[in-house]
Amino acid sequence: MIQPPGDQVGVDDLSVHIPKLFLSAAGEFSSARDINPAKLTRGIGIEEMAVPDAHEDAATMAAMSLLELMKRNDISPEEIGKIYIGTESAVDEAKAMGTYVIGMLEKIYGEGSFQDCSTVEFKSACIGTTLALESLSYWAAQEDDGRVGIVIASDIAKYPLRSPGEYTQGAGSVSLLVKRRPRLLSLEKDFGSFTKDENDFFRPPGASTAVVNGKHSNFCYINAVTGAFDAFAKRALRKGTIRLKEGECLADHISHLLFHIPYPRMAEYASAAIFRHCWRSLPRWEEVEAEIGSEPKPSDYPSFDLFTLADADFGKRFARTNLFLEEFKAKVLDTTDISRRVGNIYTGSIYLGLASLIELRKLHPAERICFCAYGSGCSSLVFSGIVQPDASSLPSRDLEKRLDERKQIRLEEYERLHEGKMEKSILQPSEEFALLSIDHQGYRHYDYLD
Ligand code: HMG
């Protein structure tokens, strides 16, 4: 069913909060860990990782991105009907992070100003925010009192010191304004999912860092995203949202592919898997095979393990073909721009990709963007949106400038912050929310410091 414009729902604007401290991947860190810096900057694709200061947690970061979103759009608390927060860095086992966030915002907008707004936390590893966005879009479509919804992603990606996950850390928050007649992106409602019980990444109760089976997590990610892409494609084709001509595939109708970005190279691995999957049955595949040889088939190998090795090798060669490199450069590379300087922010990483496109002014009206979200454990959700005519009128967030103004910290300072041994903040909080104390009951006290 084609929706009349007034019923379109989607993302009207977004704001981003990144901590003011960062650790450089090359230099002190890479030499202390005895890693060739090129492995981090090229092999992983990371240059800098955002590090939260002693007064920051996922709730302060969420409050900061929400405050910016409200100020940018001159939204009053009474206009907000719902705040859904995607996070896997919960600050409490029972109390919703949104109640702390509302407490912080009420220090600015007045006590009780958010009383008629409900809030809930979505936990589903890195896909929590996307599932929150899907749910909130249904609410926004039905809302008949002019109110808007907010989806917030806020996380601190943390792995043990000296582990292979350490160079895929980061921190930050993204807030999305969800409403009817959005200025940025209207959602197309053909959601395709994939869910499977996996042990790729999980954090049992009480643990401060995740258990991660790194190589397996890459595999689960690709398998899930490919599965969800197929489900999305089937639905979009069946409903007529996308119509293919002879020799075309669904990816030909997408201008930008956004992936969950645990580290920038992962977006390359994932897009290579998607394009390979989409192109295999098209005439252009002949050009690929002419360049790198035939794709391995299980029946050509004496064991599945040998086939898997050959298939992985073919995948690497595919990722270097001219055809793939052109598509990657046109549709994916720019989405990793901010992540290279921030690292993984877990459930918000895919929306950092959207922020990269916006800040680089790469979005153009009527383009279709496809989101390929992934959360460990595991699930994937693939859906699309159409860039709206007013998208380019939204003021810049000056993210590159803000990233340039951050303070680089020493390895020793990073390690003390990581282990919770830094008693005072490295940068005195200024014009921001700060965690002041945690009392004897475990209740957290926050304030806005000028
Ligand atoms: P690793 O052992 O560092 O990986 O683990 P590697 O040895 O395979 O190296 C990575 C790449 O660097 C390879 O590139 C190397 O060749 C290259 P490729 O061969 O694949 O093209 N390399 C070099 N390149 C240039 N110069 C050099 C050099 N040396 C090597 N000198 C891993 C990497 C990501 C597994 C690890 O960091 C990790 O476990 N990270 C945490 C888990 C993770 O991020 N998984 C991603 C998928 S799961 C996910 O995204 C969900 C998540 O966000 C959580 C959630 O959902 O909540 C994690």
User: What are the φ/ψ torsions at residue 133 (nearest 5 degrees)?
Assistant: -65, -40
Q: Whose C-alpha lies nearest to ligand 1, atom 19?
A: 43
Q: How far is CA 420 from CA 44, 100, 117, 134, 174, in A?
A: 26, 21, 33, 35, 24
Structural element, H or E, at residue 384? strand 379-387
For residue 44, the CA-to-ligand 1 centroid distance in Å is: 6
CATH, residue 145: 3.40.47.10
Q: Give the angle 274-276-281 at the CA atoms, nearest 5°.
A: 115
Question: Token pair of 309, please?
Answer: 């090795």
Rounded CA separation 186/246 (Å): 28
Q: Do 103 and 445 form a contact (C-beta atoms < 8 A)?
A: no
Domains in the chain, number: 1
Q: Whose C-alpha lies nearest to ligand 1, atom 17?
A: 43
Rounded CA separation 293/272 (Å): 16
Single-letter code of the amino acid located at 369: I
How do the pLDDT tens digits run along the chain, 450 residues long? Answer: 344 455 799 999 999 999 999 999 999 999 999 999 999 999 999 999 999 999 999 999 999 999 999 999 999 999 999 999 999 999 999 999 999 999 999 999 999 999 999 999 999 999 999 999 999 999 999 999 999 999 999 999 999 999 999 999 999 999 999 999 999 999 998 999 999 999 999 999 999 999 999 999 999 999 999 999 999 999 999 999 999 999 999 999 999 999 999 999 999 999 999 999 999 999 999 999 999 999 999 999 999 999 999 999 999 999 999 999 999 999 999 999 999 999 999 999 999 999 999 999 999 999 999 999 999 999 999 999 999 999 989 999 999 999 999 999 999 999 999 999 998 999 999 999 999 999 999 999 999 999
Q: How far is CA 407 from CA 46, 325, 331, in A?
A: 17, 35, 32
Rounded CA separation 316/321 (Å): 9
CB proximity list for 152: less than 8 A, separation 6 or greater? 62, 65, 66, 83, 84, 85, 86, 98, 101, 129, 173, 174, 175, 176
Q: Any residues with Cβ below 6 Å from ligand 1, and which? A: 36, 38-39, 42-44, 88, 125-126, 164-165, 167-168, 200-201, 212, 214-215, 217-218, 221, 260, 262-263, 266, 344, 346, 374-376
For residue 144, the CA-to-ligand 1 centroid distance in Å is: 47
Q: Return the ligand 1 atom nearest residue 376 CA.
A: 56
For residue 402, the CA-to-ligand 1 centroid distance in Å is: 27
Angle between helices 322-331 and 285-292 (to 10 degrees): 120
For residue 309, the CA-to-ligand 1 centroid distance in Å is: 17
Q: Return the ligand 1 atom nearest residue 125 CA.
A: 57
The parent domain of residue 325 ranges over 5-449
For residue 113, the CA-to-ligand 1 centroid distance in Å is: 45
CB proximity list for 303: less than 8 A, separation 6 or greater? none
Q: Whose C-alpha lies nearest to ligand 1, atom 46?
A: 218
Q: The whole model's pTM is what?
A: 0.96
Q: How many CB atoms lie within 10 A of CB 300?
A: 11
> CA torsion sign, 433 to 435 to 436 to 442?
positive
Rounded CA separation 427/438 (Å): 20
Question: Can you give the pLDDT at residue 1?
Answer: 39
CB proximity list for 4: less than 8 A, separation 6 or greater? none
Q: Do 136 and 81 form a contact (C-beta atoms < 8 A)?
A: no
Q: Do 345 and 171 form a contact (C-beta atoms < 8 A)?
A: yes
Q: Return the ligand 1 atom nearest residue 213 CA.
A: 39
Q: Whose C-alpha lies nearest to ligand 1, atom 34?
A: 214
Burial 195-216 (b: 16+ CB within 10 A, else e): beebebbbbeeeeebbebeeee
